[in-house]
Amino acid sequence: MTIAATPFAERERLSPGSELARIDEAAARARAVCPERPDVGVVLGSGLGAFADELQGARSLDYRELPHFPVSSVVGHAGRLVAGTLEGVRVVVMQGRVHAYEGWSPTEIVFGTRVLCRLGVRALVLTNAAGCVNPEWSPGDLMRMRDHVNLSNVNPLVGPNDASLGTRFPDLSRIYDPRLAKALEDAAGAVGVPLRAGVYVCLLGPSYETPAEIRFLRTIGGDAVGMSTVPEVIAAAHMGVPVAGISCLTNMAAGILDQPLSHSEVTETADRVRGRFLALLHAFLPRAVAAVSG
């Protein structure tokens, strides 16, 4: 059965209670592939979907089979919910996401993330492909998100607050959980994967940034730039779920090199670093569960 979501411009504004009902309806359907409480939720960004193939005993649902679930139209986002185990950890994976530039509302952008949280994940790992703003780093580097700057004008908490999901004014001062940060650093060291730590800047897109904009982002402390993740981080923090973020730096941002930017470069670089990315997650997920369970 196919149940499609409708872009927000064509829908009536939902009340908080009705949104929670929609989340619970999707979560109930998701339990067909995820009957036990998952330990960790993972959201996979552009070109990083291969991780879902690593899960043992994997079962999946197309997003179109999940009530109210928005479906991405971007290359590199398969659009499947996959559940299984990895290194003894119960994992539920979103193989792809939607973005504001596709025409989805902030509430819809984070709908999948809220479903993962509603399923009971103890930690959420959000990944993305990002442009490299720091000129001392290189395409193919992996970066732990230690903080972010939200310049996208997208915040999923705008509007009436549903107290059953979270507080009206959540604190974001430690939004990237320090326990998960240490577990991620330890995992990287254990498998010999170099891991940067930096600030991710979220812009709206879909056009890439201008060289002047990249100079500005560098001035305000940005190390990487992308068009996703931050709204999902905010939604998870709102629901009290610990978060870790990993960026795959797929290209140097505009103006650093004398060459045009393209989405094909993003997916090609993500494919090139697949082995390191997978090794890092294999080592990290058991440590993540231990970190938030202790």
Q: What is the mean pLDDT of residues 190-216?
A: 96
Q: What is the mean pLDDT of residues 90-114?
A: 95
- pLDDT for residue 12: 43
Q: What is the pTM of this model?
A: 0.91
Q: What is the mean pLDDT of residues 188-211?
A: 96
- Highest averaged pLDDT of the listed ranges 11-25, 243-257, 280-294: 280-294
Q: What is the mean pLDDT of residues 109-131?
A: 97
Q: What is the mean pLDDT of residues 66-91?
A: 88
Residue 141 has pLDDT above 60, yes or no: yes
Q: What is the mean pLDDT of residues 1-10?
A: 43
- pLDDT for residue 11: 42
The set of residues, in sequence order, having a beta carbon less than 8 Å from that of 17 and lying 6+ positions away, is: 162
Q: Which amino acid, residue 222?
A: G
Each residue of 147-195: pLDDT tens digit? 999 999 999 999 999 999 999 999 999 999 999 999 999 999 999 999 9
Nearest by Cα to 270 from 144, 80, 139, 145: 139
Q: How many Cα atoms occupy the beta-carbon half-sphere of 213 within 13 Å?
A: 17
Per CATH, the homologous superfamily of domain 8-293 is Nucleoside phosphorylase domain (3.40.50.1580)
Give yes or no for a cis peptide into 206 (omega within 30° of 0).
yes
- pLDDT for residue 1: 41
The SS3 call for residue 199 is: strand
* Residue 261: band (very low, low, confident or very high) from pLDDT cuts 50, 70, 90: low
The SS3 call for residue 92 is: strand
**Are the CB atoms for 49 and 277 separated by under 8 Å?**
no
194 alpha carbon, distance to own chain's centre: 21
Residue 118 has pLDDT above 60, yes or no: yes
User: Would you give the end-to-end CA distance of the chain in angstroms?
Assistant: 41
**Are the CB atoms for 199 and 95 separated by under 8 Å?**
no
- Six token digits for residue 138: 């290189």
DSSP state of 209: P
The SS3 call for residue 82 is: strand
Which ranges of 60-210 would DSSP assign to H, the alpha helix? 106-109, 111-118, 178-191
- Residues serving a catalytic function are 46, 77, 99, 101-102, 129, 227-228, 251, 263
The set of residues, in sequence order, having a beta carbon less than 8 Å from that of 191 and lying 6+ positions away, is: 279, 280, 282, 283
Pairing verdict, β 40-44 and 89-95: parallel
- pLDDT for residue 15: 56
DSSP state of 130: E
Gyration radius of the chain over CA positions: 18
CA–CA separation, 96 and 79 (whole Å): 5
Q: What are phi and psi of 125, to 5 degrees?
A: -115, 115
Average pLDDT, the chain: 90
Please count the other Cβ atoms lying within 10 Å of the Cβ belonging to residue 139. Answer: 19
Residue 4 has pLDDT above 60, yes or no: no
* Residue 17: band (very low, low, confident or very high) from pLDDT cuts 50, 70, 90: low
Q: What is the mean pLDDT of residues 257-282?
A: 79
Nearest by Cα to 92 from 137, 129, 127, 124: 124
**Are the CB atoms for 185 and 283 separated by under 8 Å?**
no
Q: Where are the domains of the chain?
A: 8-293
